[in-house]
Each structure stands twice: as structure tokens, then as C-alpha cells.
Amino acid sequence: MASGAGSNFEALVLAGRTGSLQAEVVQLIVNNPGCGAQQRAQRLAINCSLLDHRQHPSREALDAAIVAQLEGQDIDLVVMAGWMRIVTPVLIDAYAGRLINIHPSLLPSFKGLDAVVQALRAGVTLAGCSVHLVSEAVDAGEILMQAAVPVLPGDDPTSLSARIQRQEHQLLPAAVALMGERLALQG
């Protein structure tokens, strides 16, 4: 699931195609018409569905549409890779323990929107990214993996975000692999 440029989505697809990740991305859901993720899906020949949140009367209705879109497919894990919408128990419960999110901070610090700006305003010397299980509380689920990124003198949201994103592209496939191992053990 993605809302924006889709670079994390592409990182997952490429990791699967190169064999560095023993997984396959079979479906992308986007909520913004014409977003970069949708364009990447077309270029990468991945099935992409648009579920525009503006066409749904509530978050629950959107999440029900997502669940309906995924039903009938052999999906082991749902990845929120830049999904800029708060999800509800409708989706969380449908994929309990199998719904993960990537967030551009070292959680539990700087939850929610503008995490990089929050980190810079706080004056931290270390930022980064986290992959976590999704829970009802925003960015509060079990942390699966993290990567740290130093905050350099003169950093602004753009420069720091770029370095964090490079780490995200490595961290997200690793976290998907970890979840694959967990799910295999659960049988």
C-alpha cells in the first residue's frame, strides 16, 4: 500500500526479483490517482488498484474496500510502504500480526506526520527509520527493525529525509524477510 512516490514499493519489488528477498509483491493499492507509486507499478508490471480515500465516506469504509480487494489472493503480509492514511481495526484485524508499516523515525520518538521535521526541531543528533507491526495506536505497534541515520550540521528536512529513505530501502525488505520467518514458524 502506498500513497506517494513509491520508492519503498519499488525497493521491495526489486529485492524480490533479484533474489535478495524470498518474496513476491503481487498487488499494490494506492489511494492517490496518478501518484508515483501507481506509475512505478505500471513500469514494473505489478497489478495496481486505486482506492481513492476521497471516494469513501469513512476510514472504515476505505479499509473494508482494501480488505475486499485483497480477499481471494494468497497474501501472507500487507506492507504499508508510504501509506499516508491512518488505518482502522477493519484492516488491522483482517491482517492481525501480518500488517507492517515503515516510518521515518526511530520509534517510539516522532510518531505521526512530519517525523523528520519533528526530529530536526527537537535537535536530535540521531534520526532514522523503523518498521513496525500496525496497531490501533498510530506508530505504536511492536518494532521489528530500525536503522539509525546521523543528523548532520546543516541538515534540513530534504537532506535528512533523503538519507533516511536510503536506509528505508534496505530496512523494509529485511523486515519483510523477518516477518516471513516469523510467519513460517507460526505455521
Catalytic residues: 103
Do 9 and 41 form a contact (C-beta atoms < 8 A)?
yes
d(CA 159, CA 147): 17
Do 84 and 114 form a contact (C-beta atoms < 8 A)?
no
Cα 69 to chain center, whole Å?
A: 18
Name, in order, each residue with C-beta under 8 angstroms of 152's C-beta and a sequence gap of 6 or more.
Answer: 159, 160
Q: In 10 A of CB 28, how many CB atoms?
A: 25
